[in-house]
Structures are given as structure tokens and as C-alpha cells.
Structure 1
């Protein structure tokens, strides 16, 4: 007898790849803490940035040591990174650059207390970590110094989150063409267009209604720039994680990974938003 026809396999639903419920819960919790500290006392929010920087540095240096045997010195990075954020808030860009230089010097000297083997790779990784995490985060503290500083930071956070959300939603639903398959197979060109569209609309609304003297068309430019910088930041950390052979930088945030997995698009976006806002409406 001929074989009975086999039923066609049921179509599989696309998966988000993470615990979506945990991710939403953690995201909302972080959002409440951030917004509350941002609008109650500016100095408290600066402390939140410093804590995030220190934890991010710990995750990054730990993964470098575990996977590549690169021993970037954490102590001078953590102390210098926190000082960098505070210096940016108190003394603006000048303070941030001075703190960055002193942190670099501290990394070079601290590593001298250990054997010379691997010195160059360790201090190179240390200087990279100092620039990548605390120095870029300093631009968030610098945004805060303006009269409408909390709203500038809120705009920066909203646009970055909206860009990521737009990329995820549109890419998950309509994504067909890979954006950078060797770096991040999940990213699609359709997702990038979603990020641009979502961020530009949010940018126009935020700039018009939240930023002093802001105009909607400026928000379109800022939103476009945010979509580009957030995407590049995400791809940049994906490159680092692929080189290290890991999926996440940590496990501190259920559904998200580590702190660095949430900072990947925020860090490179901070100087972009800071600069465009200064150019459009000034720094006061």
C-alpha cells in the first residue's frame, strides 16, 4: 500500500529569543528609577550614571579576562570612570577630558605593579574601556547641566528606546533582508527603516514639546541621527561579543542580559544627541 500522506508541519511562530515578560518588567522598573531620580535631584541621577558605568566596566573587564585573558585593571577604571561622570557634570567637557587623561595615566601605572607580559594588551583594553563606557556616558551628565537638562536626557532616552523598539517591532514582523548577517544575524534592513521612522516621529514630538526653543524639524534630524548611532552601537557591541564568543555581557538584568547589553545603543548615542542639541538650541 502507498504511504499515507503526512500532514504538513505547522508553521512556526517567530520567537523574540528572550523572556519578554521579564524584559518588560525589568525595563519598566529601570525606567521608574531613572525618571524619578532625573526629576527629583539632578545629583542623584548623576549617581545613577556613575553606578551604571562602574557595573558596565566590571562586566566588560570580567568578560575580557574570562574569554581572552586580558586583564584590564578594574580599580582605576571604576574610580576614574565615576570621577569622569562627576567631572563632566561639574566642569563640562573640559572636566571630562581631564578625568579621561588621568584615568588613562592611572591604568598605565596600575598595570606596572604586575609582570610585564601582556602589558600592552592589558593597558590598551583599559584605555578602550575607559573611552567606551565612562567617557561616552559623561555626555549624559553634560546634557543634564542645561536649564532644561532633565528633559534633554529624557528626550535622549526616549529616542534611543523608541529606535530600538521600532527596529525590533518592524524587523520581527516584516524583516526579510539581513542588515549585517556576519555581525548580528537578527538585524534586518526593514528593522533599520522601522528604527528611523519611529525615532524621527518621536524626535519631532520631543523636540517640539520638551526642549526649550526646540522646533519639530530639528527633532527629525536628531531622530535620524539617533537611529543611526543606536544601530551602530548595537552592532559594535555585537562585534565585541562575537569576538569573545558570548551571547550577553552579563546576567544582572533578567530578560536583558547585563548592564552593558542595555548600554550598547545608549553610549554612542549620548554624544550625538548632546552635540545636536547644543548646535540647535545651545548649551544653557
Structure 2
């Protein structure tokens, strides 16, 4: 007697979707509230995210590769970098970046010379990858319509990620970069571009002083590209380390770095295009 074949299984996301949505909504509420109440509070939120991200990154480097990037100068310098970028602009951010790199080199001198070059190279990389790129978010905030610029940056990045996930989940057949991130598809990339361009046009037209819809189309295209590259970049790091997530701090999301992956490289892109399109004021 033959038995009926089991019904086909639906695609399922690899994470706890309810937890992911709950955490995402909670984080969004905190970010938006701090963004529109007092700018300095949001700068503090960026600094805290930077320090936690550095802690996750340096911890994984030491656990998986034995690389001891010095956390103390990175955390202090990273927080100072964000504040300097907000107070003094790009010049302040570069000076703080240089001083942080110098502090990493000096701090590591207190330990034996073995692996010195490997450790300080990882430390300088971490300083650039996390706090320096995050400083561009603080620099977006300095404009008169700074909260709206930061909100546009966040919305476009989230919409790009959502478009990639939704379209890729439903229609994805052709792998985008199978050796780096097997779940990403070319169809998902097109979804990210389409969603981000539409959101960009709306945000530039209705949120940004002096902005135009056509600028939003270009902004959305650039965000979709940078967010995708950022996601792939962190996937490369995690594959090299042999891990799935950078941490476990955020249920359904992984760690802070797993949420910053697409945001960090997108921040300087949005800052630059905003300056070109509507100026820095």
C-alpha cells in the first residue's frame, strides 16, 4: 500500500521572525525618538552602537583567529571619533581616526612583540570599519534638516534590505555571490534597487529641504549598491571566521554588527550625495 508523498515545505527564514520584528520595531522606536528629541542623544546612541560593535568584532577575531586587536583604545577612540565628526565635521573625524590608530599601535606595545603587526593591522581595520564609517551618520545629523537626513538614510537602507529579502524569497533563482552569501540572489538585488529607488524619490521629495524626486532615484540606487556590498563584505568576514553571526545580543538578528553591516558602508555614500544634491547645511 503506497503512502501519499508529504506536502511540499514552504520556504522559511532562518531566524525567529517574531523576535526579529519585535526587536526591529523596538530599536526603531528608540532611534527615532532620540533622533527627533535631542540631537546629542542620538550621537550617544551612535557611540554606544560603535562600542558594542567593536567589542563583538574584536571578540570574534580573538576567539576564531587568535588576533588581539586592543579594545580599550578602539572603544575610547571610536566614541571620540563619532563626537569629533559631529562637532568638527570630516576634519575632526580624520584627526580622531589618526589618533585612534596611533593609540592602537602604542597600546599593543605593552605586550610581547609576537603577532604585533597582525594585531595592530586588525585594530586599525576595526577603527576604520566601525567608528569611522559610523561617524558619517553623525555628520548627516549636523545639517539643519539633519534628523530628516538620518531618517532617510535609515529608511532607504532598511527598505533596500527588505526589498532584497522579499523579492529574493519569492522569486530568487539565480545566485548573486554563492561563495560569499548563498542566500542572496540577483532577483533580490533587483528588488533592493527598485524598493530603494522608490523610497528615495519619496524621501528626497517630501523630507529633505531642497530635494527632488530624481535625486532620490539616484540616491536609492546608490544605497541599494552600497548596502548589498556591505552585507557581502561582512559575510566574507564571517565566513573567514567560520561563524554565522557576530553576536547574540539581538534576538532574531544576531549581534549589533549583524545590523550594522549594510548601514556602515552606506553612511558615507548618503552623506556625500546629500552634500552634492542639497549642500551640507
Distance in 1 (CA, whole Å) between partners of 2:204 and 2:157 is 14
In 1: Cα distance, 2:81 partner to 2:128 partner:
10
Instruction: Name 1:241's counterpart in structure 2.
Output: 238
Would you identify which runs of 4 or more consecutive aligned residues in structure 1 move more than 6 Å? none
Question: CA offsets per residue over residues 217-266 of structure 1, 9 Å max, x none?
Answer: 00000000000000000000000000000000000000000000000000
TM-score, length-normalised on structure 1?
A: 0.97
Q: Could you tell me how far apart the structure 2 residues matched to 1:16 and 1:201 are?
A: 25
User: 2:131 pairs with 134, 138, 151, which one?
Assistant: 134
For residues 186 and 206 of structure 2, the distance between their equivalents in structure 1, rounded to whole angstroms, comes to 30
Query: How far apart in 1 are the matches of 2:58 and 2:73?
Result: 12
Deviation at 1:198, TM superposition (A): 0.1
Render the CA deviation track for 1:135-185: whole Å, top value 9, x for unaligned.
000000000000000000000000000000000000000000000000000
Deviation track 1:108-127 (CA, whole Å, cap 9, x = no partner) reads 00000000000000000000
Distance 1:9 1:224 in 2: 43
CA RMSD of aligned residues (A): 0.3
- CA deviation vs aligned residue, 1:170-224 (integer Å, no higher than 9, x gap): 0000000000000000000000000000000000000000000000000000000
Q: What is the SS of the residue equivalent to 2:139?
A: helix
- Cα drift, residue 10 of structure 1: 1.7
- Deviations 1:4-61, CA, capped at 9 Å, x for gaps: xxxx232111011100000000000000000000000000000000000000000000
User: 1:68: how far off?
Assistant: 0.0
- Count, aligned residues: 277
Which secondary structure state, in structure 2, belongs to the residue aligned with residue 114 of structure 1?
coil
1:276 Cα offset (Å): 0.2
For the residue of structure 2 that corresponds to 1:14, the secondary structure is coil
Instruction: Report the Cα offset of residue 73 of structure 1.
Output: 0.1
Distance (Å, rounded) in 1 between the aligned partners of 2:208 and 2:272: 14
TM-score of the two chains, using structure 2 as the length reference: 0.98
User: Which residue of 24, 33, 37 maps to 1:27?
Assistant: 24
Partner Cα distance (2:23, 2:204) in 1: 27
Which residue of the partner structure matches residue 82 of structure 2?
85
The 3-state SS of whatever aligns with 2:176 is strand
Tell me the equivalent position of 2:212: 215
Q: 1:62 — aligned with what?
A: 59
Distance 2:254 2:89 in 1: 32
Superposed CA offset, 1:70-109 (max 9, x none)? 0000000000000000000000000000000000000000
**What is aligned with 1:166?**
163
Work out the CA distance in 2 between the residues paired with 1:261 and 1:211. 29
| SS of equivalent to 1:12 | coil
